[in-house]
Amino acid sequence: MKIPWSYVVVVAAAVRWRPCQGLVVFGRCLRKTILTPINGPTHKMNISGRPDTCPRDYRSSGAHSNKDALCGTNNLIPRAKSLPLIFHPTEFGAILAAVLTSYLLITPPLPAHAGEVGAKITKAVTTSDLGISVRQSVVKGAQIMDKIDGQWERLSDKLGLGAVRSKQSARPKAKVIPELQPLDVAAANRLLQISDMAFLRAYPGGSLSNNKLQQEVDGVAKMVQVSFQRSGVAFVDPARPLEFETGPQFNFAVYSHYKAYSNLLLTQQQSQNSKDSKSFATIRADFERFVGQALLDEWKIKETSSSPLTRALQQTDTLATKLRDFGFAASVDPSPPIDSEDWQDFLEGDVPELNWNVAVDGDITLNAQILLQEQGYRIYPNIARFVLQQIFQDVLAQATAQPGGVGGISSATKVSVMDYYFDTDYTSDPDKFEAKEVLLSVSLENE
């Protein structure tokens, strides 16, 4: 479609004649300047990209109702008559977006109203119909490109394209993950009790009661029960969804508990009357430390070796055995032990950092971990990480407790454990990605 230059000039002149700040105001100016409304339907883009037709009666200027949200308000630009060309509403939206973008780029905001202009622009981009439509188009375009990239990767795999693929004799073999042991229900219940006690202890001010916590857990369980049932979870008793006998049922229970923790923290932080100020990072660190230390004591993960490195590695092996025996994980595979010479260099301060990995396959709380993180929550039940971090934290604490520290180890030495999620089966199709392994990366750092 060829757009007459006269139309572009008229639009540009209208914009320059009356600087419109924000997308909604721009639409009003444009409507008053060159568009004449007619009685009839107003066109609007829906999620699928097709124009919807909404009755004129729904273009209200008051409080937004559900119908207003679907059909828009009187800020929408109606169809025009007597224009030099006729075009589809989607094309008009694209032209309007292009003109607006050009205007915003070439027109500096007034210094006295820069903050107000920025706020109006942000509101227009995030809440207006055109802004939402443009953002949806950007996301859709990214999805299309991702799909094309996935198809190209699959074709490259099939034909062996690329320098690296051409050198491979065959695809990497899938990692064989053993079957889970039957779930130890008593150990699982004890794990939930320890988590609850740790959260009550870490809660700001310690003012949260156990009854209120359990009410929140029950509320979360009732709210998400149907969703888990649709995903294939069969409950022991639908009337008591928090009872469990299998891994999937326990995954539901642990999700309900940990989501309740986040809900209560959000409520507490939004309360204006709260006098207990405690950052979320501190709350999270305290909670994970309390859980890790309690499980070390509960599972009797104690070693007596005089070497800090040997003691930490032995405790990790004991942790792996406990996770397998309780049915919490199918397998736990530490990477080769840290070399004793590297450890000695680290103690003396000659090596700034040491790294070590532990792979946890078939973690029964894996789905709860991923789901909570996808929902934006930062407290999630990676039990192996809690314990592993506490193991190495205790080793460093014992070393720094000695007068003058041990060589290069001091109070500035830090330990961190990061978790990464992997699909142990090789695939170039992103739609077939399924996380089966949690890789725990232990990092000891001298600062």
Residue 224 has a pLDDT of 97
Q: What is the pLDDT of residues 77-132, one digit of tens each?
A: 333 333 344 444 445 555 555 555 555 445 555 554 545 566 667 766 667 778 77
For 216-235, what is the mean pLDDT? 96
For 67, the 3-state DSSP assignment is helix
**What distance in Å separates the CA atoms of residue 406 and residue 307, rounded to the nearest whole number?**
12
pLDDT for the residue 223: 96
Confidence of residue 401 (pLDDT cuts 50, 70, 90): low
Instruction: State the chain's mean pLDDT as an integer.
Output: 75
pLDDT at 232 over 50: yes
Q: Read off the pLDDT of each residue in 319-337 and give the average, rounded to a whole number.
A: 96
Read off the tokens for 374: 């996808």
The per-residue pLDDT for 10 is 44
| pLDDT at residue 16, rounded to an integer | 43
Q: Of all residues in the chain, what percent carry a pLDDT higher than 70?
A: 64
Instruction: Judge if 259 and 272 occupy the same domain.
Output: yes
Task: Write out the H or E segment, with its range, that includes residue 295.
Answer: helix 280-298
> Of the given ranges (19-28, 109-118, 223-232), which has the lowest mean pLDDT?
19-28
Domain identity same for 266 and 199: yes
Which of the four pLDDT bands, split at 50, 70 and 90, describes residue 304? confident
Inside any domain, residue 180: no
Residue 358 has pLDDT above 80, yes or no: yes
The range of the structural domain enclosing residue 155 comes to: 137-167
Q: Which residue type occupies 261? A: Y
More confident call, 35 vs 205: 205
Considering the domain architecture, whether residues 194 and 341 belong to the same structural domain is answered as yes
| pTM for this predicted structure | 0.65
| 361 and 280 housed in the same domain | yes
Is residue 407 included in any domain, yes or no?
yes
3-state helix, strand, coil in the chain (%, to 5): 55, 10, 35
Same domain for 265 and 387, yes or no, is yes
Between 431 and 5, whose confidence is greater? 431
- Whether residue 142 is predicted with pLDDT greater than 90 in this model: the reply is no
Whether residue 395 is contained in a domain is answered as: yes
Model pLDDT, residue 22: 42
pLDDT at 382 exceeding the cut of 90: yes
Q: How many CB atoms lie within 10 A of CB 388?
A: 27
Most confident stretch, 1-15, 266-280, 341-355, 393-407: 341-355
- In single-letter form, the type of residue at position 37 comes to P
331 three-state secondary structure:
strand
Residue 178, in any domain of the structure: no
Q: Which of 382, 386, 381, 379 is nearest to 266 (CA)?
A: 379
Tell me if 432 sits within 8 A of 445, measured CB to CB. no
Distance CA(46)–CA(71), nearest Å, equals 9
| Cβ atoms 287, 198 nearer than 8 A | yes
Domain boundary (116, 136, 156) is at 136
Burial 151-167 (b: 16+ CB within 10 A, else e): eebeeebeeeeeeeeee
Shared domain for 336 and 229, answered yes or no, is yes
- One domain for residues 122 and 147: no
The band of 23, judged by pLDDT with boundaries at 50, 70 and 90, is: very low
> Could you tell me if residue 172 is inside a domain?
no
Residue 286 lies in a domain: yes
Distance CA(385)–CA(273), nearest Å, equals 35
For 210: left if phi > 0, alpha if psi spans -120 to 50, otherwise beta; the answer is alpha
Lowest mean pLDDT among 102-106, 151-155, 294-298, 359-363: 102-106
Do 151 and 245 sit in the same domain of this protein? no
pLDDT of amino acid 90? 47
Question: Where residue 66 falls among pLDDT bands split at 50, 70, 90?
Answer: very low
What is the pLDDT confidence band of residue 135, given thresholds at 50, 70 and 90? Answer: confident
- Identify the residue with better confidence: 445 or 54: 445
**Does residue 69 register a pLDDT over 90?**
no
For position 50, what pLDDT does the model report? 38
Helices (DSSP H) in 160-239: which residue ranges?
A: 163-167, 185-202, 210-230
- Per-residue pLDDT of 180-201, as tens digits, reads 999 999 999 999 999 999 999 9
Claim to verify: residue 46 and residue 71 sit in the same structural domain: yes
In a domain? residue 229: yes
Does 156 share its domain with 90? Answer: no
Structurally, the chain folds into a number of domains equal to 3
The answer to whether residues 270 and 306 belong to one domain is yes
> Is the pLDDT at 337 greater than 70, yes or no?
yes
pLDDT band at 229 (very low <50, low <70, confident <90, very high): very high
Give the least confident one: 82-96, 236-250, 311-325: 82-96
- Note whether 346 and 444 are within 8 A (CB): yes
At residue 305, the 3 state secondary structure works out as: coil
> Coil, strand, or helix at residue 437?
strand
Longest dimension (CA), the chain: 90
Give the pLDDT score at 101: 52
Average pLDDT over residues 286-299: 96
Q: Do 190 and 70 share a structural domain? A: no
Q: List phi, psi (to 5°) of 271.
A: -75, 125
Q: Does the pLDDT of residue 13 top 60, yes or no? A: no
User: Which has more pLDDT, 431 or 420?
Assistant: 420
